[in-house]
Amino acid sequence: MRKKIKKINAAILIIGNEILSGRTQDKNIAFISNWLNTTCGITVNEVRIIPDIKKTIVSNVLILSKTFDYVFTTGGIGPTHDDITAESISKAFKLKYEYHKEAYSILQKYYGKNKFNDGRRKMAMMPRGARLIYNPSSAAPGFITKNVLSLPGVPSILNSMIENCKRYLIKGAKVHSKTLNLYTVESKISKKLGHIQKKHKKFVDIGSYPFFRLGKIGVAIVIRSTSLSKIKSVNSELIKLAKSKKIEILNL
């Protein structure tokens, strides 16, 4: 039986001038990150947003693919002149940029020979040896090259395809989380919180997030770990800390 790898990470590379210009609001980062964490036990450790410039795509793909277990790219695999992700990934890995036989067949069948124009044929162009990520919404497949998974930028289409990425991924240990909401200010607990984080840093990550609710200032403390027992232990310490400082706890 294959031993499960405990910690697996990923990066997300958002490609598109429309995101950087503010014309389009990105919805894919949160969706992919949540799916990877809850479904695959893969943690997203970095996100980058870059323009539709071939040199920029190439350099970022090379850096991220060497740094992380997986890289998810979104955008730039459509039919227009500025959809250059597939060509750029081909250049990054020194692979021939060519028609993918199966992708070509899928698209030709979907559109019909008479409507299968140059732009639509372009969506079948991929790095040599790419494996397909099937698309149940609009036929045009994504693809995986080495450890880089390339998906469309349209959120509804990406969402429908994401489960088809699973076959290419090695799962890690699921990261669990627990939130403790306190009516206090961060400065009142920051020193002790830092001590608790240092004590458990090998197995637990603690985040502190201010909020304003019902006219009161509060702090949401989020504990994350692959170990439920470690989360329980840290949560107990945080409750003890809150009680010692007479801080109101919202969710006990």
Q: What is the pLDDT along the chain (252 residues), one digit of tens a residue?
A: 344 456 899 999 999 999 999 999 999 999 999 999 989 999 999 999 999 999 999 999 999 999 999 999 999 999 999 999 999 999 999 999 999 999 999 999 999 999 999 999 999 999 999 999 999 999 999 999 999 999 999 999 999 999 999 999 999 888 889 999 999 999 999 999 999 999 999 889 999 999 998 888 999 999 999 899 999 999 999 999 999 999 999 875
Structure tokens at 56: 């920029």
For residue 184, give the 3-state DSSP assignment.
coil
User: In DSSP terms, which residues pair with 206 in a beta bridge?
Assistant: 223
Structure tokens at 41: 């036990």
For residue 15, give the 3-state DSSP assignment.
strand
Nearest to 208 by CA among 199, 216, 197: 197
Q: Which domains does the chain have, with CATH numbers?
A: 8-168 (3.40.980.10), 176-249 (3.30.310)
User: Does pTM top 0.75 for this prediction?
Assistant: yes
Residue 119: alpha-carbon gap to chain centroid: 28
Structure tokens at 101: 């036989």
Q: Which residue's entry shows tokens 């890289």?
A: 71
Helices (H), 129-182: 155-161
Helices (H), the chain: 17-20, 28-35, 54-67, 85-92, 101-111, 118-122, 155-161, 186-200, 228-244
Query: Can you tell me the distance from the alpha carbon of 183 to that of 217, in angstroms, rounded to the nearest whole number?
Result: 6
